[in-house]
Chain A
């Protein structure tokens, strides 16, 4: 049963299993484990980014497609929900329409880009996506009547999702279950469902073909797989999931602007999360997204504290000030790529594999020894 839910793709490392269970446990109970807005905010962002990064890994890690337009599709999702809610009012039907249009548009744009340009070499495809994404970003900030321009859009969500709404009269485990918590669980379950769906896709017969294309495009074609068609379908599935992630972020933030969805710094974050976690494994996306979001949110504060502690030492204190957190994140990134080129998940799996094979050798060695 569990194997079926995970599509037969188990973590294959005890440390990884524990890490994933901790993430799942904390995210499931986040509203009741922490108080205050900040931790729940971080938890919701982790959910959204796990889905976004996992969908990007379908492209980069599994199919070997380098795209810089992934945040564009994230943005299409966000703006789809935002425009529908701000134009048509905060109703469920407006939200549903926004989601439907956003995901359909994302899929169609991906299909068009894919069929036209996935036959060219990887580097050219990357350039094309970069151009399209830049054009889209400019368009979103220029068409201010429609998108709110640089300021973005503020809007209301359906009543059940507002902070003032109470689901139950009495608090549960000391926490009043308000609309924010309802929204959180919508985000959480949608992200979980999307993640499991992607896990199914990468472990399906279709997923095998994607990996074959990544490994040897020429031979995949010779075996009878039309490579462009497979790449385009992968791209459509991936971008529809990115659009869903965008919708979830739009619901959570009740604001959508270029900086929350479209900016290239988010694209770079997504790339880093995939690489740190481990390309070609969706669990890597979960680990990478969680670590990076926590670092982005808590590293500055930690640095600030360390900076204060080291206030007396001239040069050290300036390196430890809160503003320097990005420098330290950069160093962490370089170290992790240097020491774990296959990402955290890849490293954990290799470690466990080595340990198991060593144990088998020892056992086999022992028996032959006795036989002699």
Chain B
């Protein structure tokens, strides 16, 4: 199994905002079939690290490799086309379009059907069908025609995940997928992520604050602090590590 090549790698990945180094020389490789949780206190650079990987921010130094290819200088759209999928922490949807149209846009991106200027949607039953399947899967079928801006927060979070699933990426990046969800909605989301995890070809990155979620899902935890990678290993090992406990996560661990 050690022969498995990493799908995603970062090498000395760094970004500076003026004098502040938000992500500092993070080197890390992510293997398929593993769910890696990225934890750390607020402001540790977790979301910034995500933004560097998925291309929303340009790195000051270092490299991002996807399937062994350097993608550091590619725009976000090109990275997504190469198999990197990202869901956002703050809900980031198309507010005046319907739930179905939102999902269809993601399916369409994966099907490379964006540039057909003269086709009708009725000619693309493949895309329409795939979008309906995902709509069922995230349990939003009854809200198919609802305008997204009017959806409750929890449903918007579900839709955010639906868009990521619809892209069928090789690498799934979840940024606090359960943030702001009511307690009864969380299991549904965890179930969806758990299903993805069972597919051994998928690589999953998860930024999450809730430690019970991390414990139940993650096969590996990396800890960021002040932009630096300070711990990396199996959940039990990392959570037991004295540095992590005392310096960064102590408070949260005691609560949990």
Contacts and interface: CB of A to CB of B under 8 A. Distances in A.
B133 interface: no
Given A205-B114, A206-B114, A226 B78 contact: yes
A348 B99 CA distance: 23
A7 B120 contact: yes
Nearest to B113: A205
Interface residues of A, number: 29
A208 B102 CA distance: 9
Given A203-B121, A226-B78, A216 B95 contact: yes
Interface stretch (A217-225, A262-270, A302-310): A217-225
Interface stretch (B16-24, B104-112, B201-209): B104-112
Nearest to A200: B118
Interface residues of B, number: 37
Given A206-B115, A215-B95, A225 B109 contact: yes
A201 B94 contact: no
Interface in B83-98: 86, 88, 92-97
B86 to A, nearest CB: 6
A53 interface: no
B75 to A, nearest CB: 7
A4 interface: yes
Contacts of B241: none
Contacts of B92: 216, 218-219, 222
Contacts of A8: 120-122
22 contacts: A4-B120, A200-B117, A203-B120, A204-B117, A205-B115, A205-B121, A209-B108, A211-B94, A215-B94, A215-B97, A218-B92, A220-B94, A220-B105, A221-B77, A222-B88, A223-B80, A224-B78, A225-B109, A226-B77, A226-B78, A233-B115, A237-B117
A205 B94 contact: no
Interface string B118-137: 11111010010000000000
Interface string A3-21: 0100110000000000000
Given A224-B80, A225-B109, A205 B97 contact: no
B23 to A, nearest CB: 19
A201 B76 contact: no
B160 to A, nearest CB: 10
Given A8-B122, A204-B119, A205-B119, A212 B54 contact: no
A352 interface: no
Contacts of A271: none
B163 interface: yes
Contacts of B163: 223
A226 B117 CA distance: 16
Nearest to A197: B118
A225 B118 CA distance: 18
B171 to A, nearest CB: 13
Interface string A214-252: 011011111111110010010001000000000000000
A222 B76 CA distance: 6
A130 B184 CA distance: 54
A220 B95 CA distance: 12
A223 B117 contact: no
A219 B93 contact: yes
Interface string B162-187: 01000100000000000000000000
Contacts of A221: 75-77
B11 interface: no
Interface of B: 54, 56, 75-78, 80-81, 86, 88, 92-97, 101, 104-106, 108-110, 113-122, 124, 127, 163, 167
A287 B95 CA distance: 27
Contact of B77 (A201, A206, A207, A227): A227
A212 B108 CA distance: 12
B75 A226 contact: yes
Nearest to B82: A224
Given A212-B97, A222-B77, 20 more contacts: A8-B122, A200-B117, A203-B120, A205-B119, A206-B114, A206-B116, A207-B117, A208-B108, A209-B105, A209-B108, A215-B94, A216-B92, A218-B56, A219-B88, A223-B80, A223-B163, A224-B81, A224-B110, A230-B114, A233-B115
The 10 closest A-B pairs by CB, nearest first: A224-B80, A215-B94, A224-B109, A226-B77, A223-B109, A206-B117, A205-B113, A224-B81, A209-B114, A219-B92
Nearest to B169: A224
A218 B51 CA distance: 12
B215 to A, nearest CB: 29
B105 A208 contact: yes
B94 A212 contact: yes
Contact of B94 (A200, A206, A216, A224): A216
A166 B88 CA distance: 67
Contacts of A218: 56, 92
Nearest to A3: B122
Contacts of B86: 222
Contacts of A4: 120
A205 B124 contact: yes
A8 B124 CA distance: 13
A1 to B, nearest CB: 12
Contact of B104 (A206, A208, A227, A237): A208
Nearest to A9: B120
Contact of A222 (B56, B113, B124, B127): B56
Contacts of B115: 205-206, 233
A219 B78 CA distance: 13
B96 A205 contact: no
